[in-house]
Amino acid sequence: KGNVIDPLTLIDKYGADSLRFTLASMAAQGRDVKLSTSRVEGYRNFITKLWNLARFVDFNNLENTKNFNVNNVIYVENKWIIQEFDKLVKSVSHNIDNYKFNEAANDCYKFTWHLFCDWYVEIIKTTMSDKSNSKYQETSDTIIWLFTELLKVLHPFIPFVTEELWEFANKKTPKKMLIANSWPATTTIVDQNSILEMNWIVNFITEIRSLRAELNIAPSLKIKVSVKNLSKSSNNYINNNSITIKKIARISDINIVEDLPVGTIELNYNGAIFALHINDIISISDEILRLEKEIEVIKKDLLFIGGKLSNKKFIENAPKDIILKQEKKYSELTELLAKTEKSLNKFRLMEN
């Protein structure tokens, strides 16, 4: 009593498709499903993300070229995302055929949220802002094709939303309902080099972002990068995609050098050493003081929570959920302490 979630209440608050997608993502074979409102809210956020993607396409007033053939694309970022979509179609088809609805739903989530929205859309924004760009028309055609094909793959999980988005996407030239369309066919594109190049870029930007976050560098600050031991292929990747890399990773310049300058923090990636010019944008001594104070506060909190968890009376008398929260907090603080001490050591090395 009191621990039952009414699905009708969830539908009223988050929508039927949010609940449907949540249940599909949790429907592992041979496992009881424990539902929570936070999960349903997460999938409602996914649907919001999908609508934002539709608005991006609409805002840019994109229209397909009538004779567009997806198999003839030539630009690396477009080849890459199309091949990733092919993988999704094959994976979802296989998992639905084998009743692994949770794996199919989770594959859809990861592709849409991470590869399509977080990466592909960000990568093409520079191209889409300039109609004179040589990549513009092909990229415009690709994103429209990809968006409408993705709606077909998502349709089994969120039919109401995808049907509405299908109508929205085809408002200029109305077509038959989405449910009456065929399942997507895979393309004939096979270009491993484009996958290698885009994976290199995505992983490199991820590493730079992680290091920036670890060092508490504000996103508004652009940073200069020096690099040594750069392979020929890595050098080509940077040259081919320098505007994208600089824009997304918030880098002002990338220079190849023989010797790395002082006042930098090094990142080893793919056999090369990338040096971030931290000294140009923040005070090393001020950052050391800030981190030392932060470590002091974390240690005090750990001491306090550790005292609670080692107290027999607290363990015996406190509600189980309170104990679990304290244990989780202790674990998070321990992780934060290690991360902060690691950052402090990097800054101390720079000071020396």
Element spanning 7, H or E:
helix 7-14
Q: Looking at the predicted structure, is the pLDDT value of residue 145 above 70?
A: yes
Residues 102 and 26 in one domain: yes
Residues 269 and 208 in one domain: yes
Tell me if 1 is assigned to some domain: no
Element spanning 228, H or E:
strand 223-228
Q: Looking at the predicted structure, is the pLDDT value of residue 2 above 60?
A: no
Residues 210 and 336 in one domain: no
Q: Which residue in 216, 194, 198 sits closest to 281, CA to CA?
A: 216
Residues 106 and 159 in one domain: yes
Residues 185 and 240 in one domain: no
Q: Looking at the predicted structure, is the pLDDT value of residue 242 above 60?
A: yes
Residues 79 and 212 in one domain: no
pLDDT attached to residue 8: 87
Residues 197 and 186 in one domain: no
pLDDT attached to residue 65: 64
Tell me if 81 is assigned to some domain: yes
Residues 149 and 247 in one domain: no
| Share above pLDDT 90 across residues of the chain, in percent, rounded to a whole number | 67
Stretch 207-225: mean pLDDT = 90
- For residue range 284-326, what is the model confidence (pLDDT) as tens digits? 888 899 999 999 999 999 999 999 999 999 998 898 889 999 9
Arithmetic mean of pLDDT over the chain:
90
Could you tell me the CATH number of the domain that includes residue 246? 3.30.2320
First CA to last CA distance, the chain: 63
The pTM assigned to this predicted structure is 0.84
Task: Give residue 21's pLDDT band: very low, low, confident or very high (50, 70, 90).
Answer: very high
Tell me if 2 is assigned to some domain: no
Task: Give residue 170's pLDDT band: very low, low, confident or very high (50, 70, 90).
Answer: confident
Q: Looking at the predicted structure, is the pLDDT value of residue 32 above 80?
A: no
The whole-angstrom separation of Cα 15 and Cα 152 is 20
Tell me if 210 is assigned to some domain: yes
* Neighbouring C-alpha atoms within 13 Å toward the C-beta of 286: 7
Task: Give the range of the structural domain holding residue 330, as residue numbers without chain letter.
Answer: 284-351
Tell me if 109 is assigned to some domain: yes
Q: Please tell me which residue, 113 or 215, carries the higher pLDDT value.
A: 113
Could you tell me the CATH number of the domain that includes residue 150? 1.10.730.10
Residues 121 and 20 in one domain: yes
Residues 111 and 161 in one domain: yes
pLDDT attached to residue 30: 64
| Antiparallel, parallel or unpaired: β 272-276 and 265-269 | antiparallel
| Share above pLDDT 70 across residues of the chain, in percent, rounded to a whole number | 95
Residue 269, SS3 per DSSP:
strand
Locate 237 and state its tokens: 């990747």
Tell me if 62 is assigned to some domain: yes
Residues 117 and 182 in one domain: yes
Q: Looking at the predicted structure, is the pLDDT value of residue 3 above 70?
A: no
* Domain end among 278, 296, 318: 278
Structural domain count, the chain: 3
Residues 233 and 256 in one domain: yes
Contact of 274 with 266, CB cutoff 8 Å: yes
* Domain end among 239, 263, 278: 278
Residue 62, SS3 per DSSP:
coil
pLDDT attached to residue 59: 66
Stretch 97-123: mean pLDDT = 95
* Domain end among 228, 244, 278: 278
